[in-house]
């Protein structure tokens, strides 16, 4: 009986010894390609907003989609809890005159104007707020721009536009869109 157990042990040992050379066919099942969303991480979580307690004299509101925007020195403010908070006008907002700080830009053959984080295009006799054109280059950004981590690259975000520092200034590399919650 003792020899039988020893013989059985060696038989099992030799049969398992050749496992390292075993080959098997790999069967791969097709998988859906997942779209990886970019993660934008903000370095500075503290929200700093420009506010005014009082508007300058003779400031007239511009009403757009039932919201009153107050233009002050090229920037727009809306009233919130007794103070006026800096806000960017939404796309489609129209003006007859551009702010005094506006700069003319041409991106891919299309003429734009830029002032304090807002891009404008001439439509008929007015100027309409448009989406930031990708590829636009600015010499400097307003101080409201926030530094963010965009796909592992240090970038700046202002008015839903992502800017990357280049030799000549800052270039628009992407436009962030708000996620819809259904």
pLDDT for 2-13, tens place per residue? Answer: 677 877 777 776
- Section 128-143 average pLDDT: 87
Q: Which two tokens stand for residue 85?
A: 């908070």
Tally the domains of the chain. 1
Answer yes or no: is 75 within a domain.
Answer: yes
* CA–CA dist 95, 55 (Å, integer): 19
Answer yes or no: is 153 within a domain.
Answer: no
Answer yes or no: is 130 within a domain.
Answer: no
What is the phi/psi pair of residue 3, to 5°? -70, -30
SS3 23: coil
pLDDT at 182 exceeding the cut of 50:
no
Answer yes or no: is 173 within a domain.
Answer: no
Distances (CA, A) of 21 to 17, 87, 150: 9, 68, 46
Answer yes or no: is 71 within a domain.
Answer: yes
* CA–CA dist 128, 126 (Å, integer): 6
* CA–CA dist 166, 154 (Å, integer): 11
Answer yes or no: is 161 within a domain.
Answer: no
Answer yes or no: is 67 within a domain.
Answer: yes
What is the phi/psi pair of residue 99, to 5°? -60, 155
Domain that holds residue 74: 50-87
Closest CA relative to residue 175, chosen from 165, 160, 155, 156: 160
Answer yes or no: is 14 within a domain.
Answer: no
pLDDT in tens, 20-75: 555 666 677 776 766 656 655 555 544 455 667 677 777 777 788 888 888 777 77
pLDDT at 154 exceeding the cut of 90:
no
pLDDT in tens, 74-132: 778 888 888 888 878 888 888 888 888 888 998 999 999 998 888 999 998 999 989 99
């Amino acid at each position: 009986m003792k020899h039988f157990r020893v013989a059985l042990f060696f038989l099992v040992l030799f049969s398992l010894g050749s496992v390292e050379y075993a080959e098997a066919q790999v069967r791969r099942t097709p998988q859906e390609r997942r779209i990886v969303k970019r993660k934008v991480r903000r370095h500075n979580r503290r929200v700093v907003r420009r506010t005014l307690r009082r508007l300058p004299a003779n400031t007239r509101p511009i009403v757009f989609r039932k919201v009153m925007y107050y233009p002050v020195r090229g920037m727009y403010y809306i009233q919130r809890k007794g103070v006026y908070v800096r806000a960017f006008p939404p796309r489609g907002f129209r003006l007859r005159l551009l702010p005094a700080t506006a700069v003319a830009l041409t991106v891919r053959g299309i003429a734009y104007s830029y002032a304090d984080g807002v891009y404008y295009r001439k439509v008929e006799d007015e100027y309409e707020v448009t989406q930031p054109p990708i590829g636009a280059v600015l010499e400097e950004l307003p101080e409201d721009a926030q530094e963010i981590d965009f796909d592992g690259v240090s970038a700046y975000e202002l008015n839903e536009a992502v800017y990357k520092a280049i030799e000549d200034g800052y270039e628009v590399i992407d436009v962030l869109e708000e996620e819809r919650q259904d």
